[in-house]
Structure 1
Amino acid sequence: MGATTSTSSSSPQPSSNLDSSQKQASEIPPPGCPMHQKKMDGCPMHQEPNQKSESCSGPAHQERAYEYVQCPMRATQKDDIDPSNMMPPPNQTPAPDQPFTLSVVREESSIPRAFTDKKWVYPSSQMFWNAMLRKGWKWKDDDIEAVDMENIIKIHNKNNEKAWSEILKWEALHAKECPCGPSLIRFGGKAKEYSPRAQIRSWMGYELPFDRHDWIVDRCGKQVRYVIDYYDGGEVDKDYHFTILDVRPAFDSMSAIWDRMKVAWWRWTS
């Protein structure tokens, strides 16, 4: 999220690249456009004291995320203290009984975030640790070290990048109606809600997926749901791949059904 590389058994073949040439604007953009705004370096020491950063709308864990991408030392900056309670951001705070220090650095993904000009930002090792604790995980029950958390983050990020690349293959079928390309609105885990496809495979003797995610994608104003089943692919390889992904659009619309039928036919006749 092994020598087996993450693959998708139901993804269509990539389409040819779209023509990237665009008509240049004949007028100078008005002063209100972003390109006229003064750009600031990511670290706080490059910013003037009276300047405030603007936060984009989005999930709570994405707020101020770029501060930890561009300048990891933000974790120790006084500016991070919440004036309402004089505490640092909760999701980056070490747990009381945490046995070692974890990184708070966050990596930018290649996945566009819907309704913004930014991309999704992956959690830090510290955020991942805190999230597992909230789900009831007891670290004392496992033989775990700081390097293990770093590897978990790498696997997590690789899985998401692979999932997005598979979604892009499906979205290539709609390149004409959405030439700007898709973006991710939100996602959620449904580990115990097995998809009909996974259940049918189980009845045929195949293993059930160990996880499932539903990703909601914006296709130029149209919301499309994708189902992603995660299967164990063996040992983790040098590129941190060990998961086999089954990515496909959910049967939520006639368009999705038609896409699935077309791809099934292509696979059958190829």
Structure 2
Amino acid sequence: MGFFWSSTPNPNTTTNNNIKNDIPHPMNMSGLTPPPGCPMHKADDTTTIDDKLNPLTNMPELSIQKQPGQTIDLPTERTSSTIPRGDSPDAGVWEYPSPQQMFNAMVRKGKGDVPEDAVESMVNIHNFLNEGAWEEIKEWEKPYTEETGKQPRLLKFTGRPDAISPRARMYNYLSYIFPEKFGSELPFDRHDWTVLRNNGGDDWKQVRYVIDYYSGEDDPFGLPSFFLDVRPGLDNLDNAIQRFNHWRNEMKPTWDKAMGKETKTNDDDDDEY
């Protein structure tokens, strides 16, 4: 498939993270574009005091019952993610909403015009992108994982589709000056994930990650693409240093090339023997 994620939200930029044939063909979505915000993650103005919000997701419990007038039987089984949940191995992993729950959430938020036969594809895309976000987070957390031997865990998350991040605003402004480098579209969604980072033993530190979701241009086969911009929030000095070191490591090969430094390859190593 033409779905991929990258750390640079520019539809004009080529990435090596192009993933194919991982989710069902999305073209039965009849040209449907991503909704302005994931309908699963945020209570709306119709929430009543009888709705019980889960503090870990900021969502009410979602029904698996069919909607009045619904003509297609949507699956009600939930799919397990690969994302560890909470600060204990006994907590298992997070589960994704079933297609029926996704559809019920859309109706609840006034998005009942979504074609019923597109919901399963939307759930697959939703799950695929979140798995991609977690892979990016694991890369950010890799130095700490190697130090402690314990993988990060996802404590909670919330959707903030109406809160444009400062970085997304900056990219949008820069697109008018450097259109060949930065895409002009704002994110169609944003998540804030609270990740638990192990500091040794039973000590876990909470780290907020910001995830901006962008729509990219269709790939050469006419399939839609998406970009994820994942990074720790600038909540403290540690996160700022982590982002600087990450940026420095990404830029080092480019800087070395600009300075005329040659990078030793495996072939060079073989020649020495």
Which TM class, normalised by the smaller chain length? 0.5 to 0.7
Q: Does 1:229 align with 2:212?
A: yes
Of residues 162, 165, 170 in structure 2, which corresponds to 1:200?
170
Task: Tell whether the 8 Å contact from 2:152 to 2:195 is kept in structure 1 after alignment.
Answer: yes
Distance 1:248 1:226 in 2: 6
Structure 1: runs of 5+ lacking an equivalent: 11-56, 64-88
Q: Deviations over 1:188-245 (max 9, x none)?
A: 111111111000111112321111100001112110000001111234899x972100
Task: Tell whether the 8 Å contact from 1:3 to 1:234 is kept in structure 2 after alignment.
Answer: no
Which residue identity is paired with 1:167?
A: I
Aligned to 2:234: 251
Aligned to 1:218: 196
Task: Tell whether the 8 Å contact from 1:191 to 1:213 is kept in structure 2 after alignment.
Answer: yes
Q: Deviations over 1:88-121 (max 9, x none)?
A: x861111122222111011110000013421001
Of residues 40, 58, 68 in structure 2, which corresponds to 1:96?
68
Distance 1:134 1:237 in 2: 36
Higher relative contact order (CA 8 A, sep 6+): 1
SS of the residue corresponding to residue 204 of structure 1 reads helix
Q: Does 1:264 align with 2:247?
A: yes
Q: 1:209/1:97 Cα in 2 relative to 1: closer, same or farther (>3 Å)?
A: same
Please state which structure has a larger fraction of its residues in strand. 2
Distance 2:128 2:81 in 1: 10
Task: Tell whether the 8 Å contact from 1:227 to 1:250 is kept in structure 2 after alignment.
Answer: yes
Q: Does 1:7 align with 2:12?
A: no
Shift of 1:149: 1.1
Task: Tell whether the 8 Å contact from 2:57 to 2:158 is kept in structure 1 after alignment.
Answer: no
TM-score, scaled to structure 2: 0.64
Task: Tell whether the 8 Å contact from 1:209 to 1:230 is kept in structure 2 after alignment.
Answer: yes
SS of the residue corresponding to residue 136 of structure 1 reads coil
Aligned to 1:183: 153
Task: Tell whether the 8 Å contact from 2:80 to 2:93 is kept in structure 1 after alignment.
Answer: yes
Task: Tell whether the 8 Å contact from 1:234 to 1:242 is kept in structure 2 after alignment.
Answer: yes
Q: 1:178/1:224 Cα in 2 relative to 1: closer, same or farther (>3 Å)?
A: farther
Q: 1:61/1:108 Cα in 2 relative to 1: closer, same or farther (>3 Å)?
A: farther
SS of the residue corresponding to residue 226 of structure 1 reads strand
Task: Tell whether the 8 Å contact from 2:154 to 2:195 is kept in structure 1 after alignment.
Answer: yes
Aligned to 1:134: 108
Shift of 1:134: 1.3
Q: Does 1:162 align with 2:132?
A: yes
Q: Deviations over 1:27-70 (max 9, x none)?
A: xxxxxxxxxxxxxxxxxxxxxxxxxxxxxx9858999xxxxxxx
What is the number of equivalent residue pairs in this alignment?
Answer: 193
RMSD over aligned Cα, in angstroms? 2.8
Aligned to 1:151: 121
Shift of 1:176: 4.7
SS of the residue corresponding to residue 186 of structure 1 reads strand
Structure 2: runs of 5+ lacking an equivalent: 10-53, 176-183, 199-203, 254-273
Q: 1:231/1:62 Cα in 2 relative to 1: closer, same or farther (>3 Å)?
A: closer
Q: Deviations over 1:174-198 (max 9, x none)?
A: 1255421110011111111111100
